[in-house]
Amino acid sequence: MKKDQSFELYGIFGYPLSHTLSPAMHEAAFRKLGIDANYIVLELIPAAFKKLMRRSSKLSLSGFNVTVPYKETVMQYLDTVRPEARAIGAVNTAYRRGKRWVGTNTDMEGFLLVLKKDGGFRPFGKRAVILGAGGAARAVVYGLSKEKAREILMADCFPEKARKIASDMGKLFPRVNYEAVLAGTEEVKESLQKADVIINATPLGLRPRDPRVIPDSWIPKARVKRQFFMDLIYNPAMTPFLKSAKKKGHKTLNGLGMLLYQGARAWERWTKRKAPVEVMRQALLQALKEQGK
């Protein structure tokens, strides 16, 4: 396929970035559509990141992603921040509109896309339990609220973080019933029995020796009701949380699809073309395989 005339450069900012899979999927998409572009890893310590962002107008990038720990920091250096990113409190994608940098949050979009496309789940009128109250949880709660979920309970070992999300989202989505509780309590156990979707938005499950995010005994057996369990972790593909849910007959999904779809939406913002999602998916799977995990 004939390539476009102008070369473009994209990248991802974060620290550390040794295991990022983003270059694999974006480079595969560029190759598939014959776009003359590269996607590079920009691992910078905080002082270097801030110094570079202060000169963001002179960046030779056509667009970029931002990951931990800079999703909040980057907002002050952009010309415009989209309302959904402002509400979530984090930007993971920046794109140019003329000479201006616009920040958005495609994590939320990626979450909703994977929920519907890969999970076959529609949040409208449903009850949700979110385990965790960090940045990922904020994007998830915003997405569920946007799709008119009925009830959202957030549980965290620092309940004030969950209460802050409930307060912020309650102002934007007054028809959604929010509840914020301490993780590991009876309230969480009871809510799990009634929930339609349970989402792990904590890092628990990344390492083999991690404690369980919830006790196995709290996951009900799928008798009359088959629930949907999602873990935002994608490596390992089956965390203890998902294994327990699957063993009890529930539907499960890991976070690889969210990574894929947020990347696809970012790619579309940059190129104004439809992303080759399946090509990007295969590139992610291959990259995971090559990492030997």
Beta bridge partners of 155: 131, 181
Q: Cα(113)–Cα(109) distance, rounded to whole angstroms?
A: 6
The phi, psi pair for 223, rounded to 5°, reads -100, -90
- Please indicate whether residue 71 is annotated as part of the active site: yes
Dihedral sign computed on CA atoms, order 130, 132, 134, 135: negative
What DSSP string describes 94-148?
Answer: EEEETTEEEEE-HHHHHHHHHHHHTT----TT-EEEEE--SHHHHHHHHHHHHTT
32, 51, 71, 243: which is the annotated catalytic residue? 71
Cβ atoms of residues 36 and 4 within 8 Å: yes
- For residue 174, cis peptide bond before it (omega within 30 degrees of 0): no
Q: Hey, what amino acid is at 161?
A: K
The phi, psi pair for 14, rounded to 5°, reads 175, 175
Catalytic residue positions, numbered: 71
